[in-house]
Structure 1
Amino acid sequence: MRPGLTAKLFLAMLTVAVFTVLAMGVAARLSFDRGFLGYLAEQETERMQTGASSLATAYREHGSWDFLRNNPHAWLEAMRPGHFSGLPPPHAVDDQDQPGDPRERPPESSPPGQDDHPPPALPPMDAPSSISVLTGTDFRFALLDAQSRLLFGNSAAVTAMHSVKQAIVVNGRAVGWLVMLPLRDVTAAGDLRFERGQYRASWIIGVSALVLAALLAIWLARTLLTPVHRIAKATHALAEGNYTIRVEAIAHDDLGQLARDFNQLAVALEKNQRTRRQFVADISHELRTPLAIMRGELEALEDGVRRFDQEAIASLHAEVGMLSKLIDDLYQLSLADVGTMIYRKVELDLPKLLEGVADTFRERLRRADVDLQLNLPAIPVPVHADEGRLHQLFVNLFENSARYTDAGGVLRVSCRIMADSAVVDLMDSAPGVAEADLQRLFERFYRTESSRNRASGGAGLGLAISRAIVEAHHGKIDAHPSPLGGLWLTVRLPLENA
Structure 2
Amino acid sequence: MKISITAKLFAAVLATALLVALAMGVAAHLNLKRGFLGYLNEQGELRLEAAVPGVTAGYRANGNSWNFLREHPELWYKQLRPLADDEGRALDPRERPPPTVSELTGATRRFALYDTDRRRVAGFEGSTAPEVERPIVVDGVTVGWLTMARFEAVSSAAERRFEDAQWRSRWLVGAGAMLLAAGIAVWVSRALLTPVKEVAAATHRLAAGEYGTRVHIEARDEVGQLAVDFNRLAHTLQRNEEMRREFMADVSHELRTPLGVLHGELEAIEDGVRTLDRESVRSLQAEVATLNKLVSDLYDLSLADVGALTYRKADLDVAETLRLAAGAFRERLSERGIKLALVLPEAPLMAFVDERRLVQLFNNLLENTCRYTDAGGMLRVSARLDGARVCIDFSDTAPGVADEQRAHLFERFYRTDASRNRQSGGAGLGLAICQRIVEAHDGRIEAKASPLGGLWIAIELPQGAA
TM, length-normalised to structure 2:
0.88
The match for 1:464 is 432
Deviates more, 1:43-52 or 1:316-325: 43-52
Unaligned runs of 5+ in 2: 91-95
Shift of 1:449: 1.4
1:252: which partner in 2? 220
User: Which residue among 81, 92, 102 is the counterpart of 1:76?
Assistant: 81
Compared with structure 1, are the counterparts of its residues 66 and 3 closer, same or farther at alpha carbon in structure 2 (3 Å cutoff)?
Answer: same
Count residues in correspondence: 454
* Alpha-carbon offset, residue 425 of structure 1: 1.1
Secondary structure at the aligned position of 2:392 is classed as: strand
Which residue, out of 223, 247, 269, partners 1:301? 269
AA in 2 matched with 1:140: R
Distance in 2 (CA, whole Å) between partners of 1:16 and 1:129 is 44
Give percent identity, aligned residues only. Answer: 49
AA of the residue aligned to 1:133 = L
Paired with 1:361 and 1:420, the residues of 2 have a C-alpha distance of: 29
Residue of structure 1 equivalent to 2:12: 12
Aligned 1:372-391 pairs, distance under 5 A = 372-391=340-359
Matches within 5 A, 1:93-492: 133-134=104-105, 136-137=107-108, 139-144=109-114, 148=119, 150-151=121-122, 155=123, 157-159=124-126, 164=131, 166=133, 168=136, 175-184=143-152, 187-492=155-460
Q: In structure 2, do the counterparts of structure 1 residues 143 and 417 end up closer, same or farther at CA, with 3 Å as the change threshold?
A: same
Residues 59 and 82 of structure 1: is their aligned pair in 2 closer, same or farther, counting only changes over 3 Å? farther
SS of equivalent residue, structure 1 residue 76: coil
Distance 1:454 1:54 in 2: 123
Decide whether aligned partners of structure 1 residues 393 and 71 sit closer, same or farther in structure 2, where only a CA change above 3 A counts.
Answer: closer
Q: Which piece of structure 1 moves more, 30-39 or 241-250?
A: 30-39
Query: 2:238 & 2:52 partners in 1: Cα distance?
Result: 96
- Alpha-carbon contact 2:40-2:102 (below 8 Å) kept: no
CA distance in 1, matches of 2:163, 2:136: 34
| Cα 1:146/1:20, change in 2 over 3 Å | same
> Where in structure 2 are the equivalents of 1:87-98 lying within 5 Å?
none
Contact kept? 2:40, 2:105, Cα under 8 Å: no
Aligned to 1:37: 37
Measured in 1, the distance between the counterparts of 2:143 and 2:161 equals: 38
Cα displacement string for residues 108-141 of structure 1 (whole angstroms, at most 9, x for unaligned residues): xxxxxxxxxxxxxx9xxxx98955632653x332
Letter in 2 for 1:369: G
CA separation in 2, counterparts of 1:373 and 1:4? 71
Q: 5+ residue gaps in structure 1?
A: 86-121
Deviation of 1:445 (Å): 0.7
Q: Deviations over 1:271-295 (max 9, x none)?
A: 1111100000000010111111111
Query: What corresponds to 2:27 in structure 1?
Result: 27
**CA distance 1:128–1:426, shift in 2 (3 Å):** same
Q: Distance in 2 between matches of 1:318 and 1:414?
A: 32
Q: Post-superposition shift, 1:13?
A: 0.5
CA deviations 1:432-476 (Å, max 9, x no partner) are 222322111111111111122222211110011001111111211
CA 1:304–1:132 in structure 2 vs 1: closer, same or farther (change >3 Å)? farther
> Residues of 2 paired with 1:454 and 1:329: CA distance?
16
Quick check: 1:165–1:177 contact (8 Å CA) kept in 2?
A: no
Deviations 1:84-113 (A, max 9, x none): 99xxxxxxxxxxxxxxxxxxxxxxxxxxxx
Aligned to 1:98: none
Report the 3-state secondary structure (helix = DSSP H, G, I; strand = E; otherwise coil) of the residue aligned with 2:445: strand
Bigger mean CA offset, 422-431 vs 305-314: 422-431
Q: How much does 1:171 deviate?
A: 7.5
Amino acid at match of 2:65: S
Q: Deviations over 1:40-96 (max 9, x none)?
A: 4356457647755874576468623478765965531369779799xxxxxxxxxxx
Corresponding letter in the other structure for 1:5: I
Cα pair distance change 1:274/1:129, threshold 3 Å: farther
Aligned to 1:417, what secondary structure does the other structure show?
A: strand
Q: Is the 8 A contact 2:55 2:79 kept in 1?
A: no
Shift in alpha-carbon separation, 1:333–1:81, aligned structure 2, 3 A: same
SS in 1 for 2:376: coil
TM-aligned CA distance change 1:449 to 1:84, over 3 Å: closer
How far, CA to CA, are the matches of 1:425 and 1:22 in structure 2?
A: 77
How far the C-alpha of 1:417 sits from its partner, in A, is: 2.2
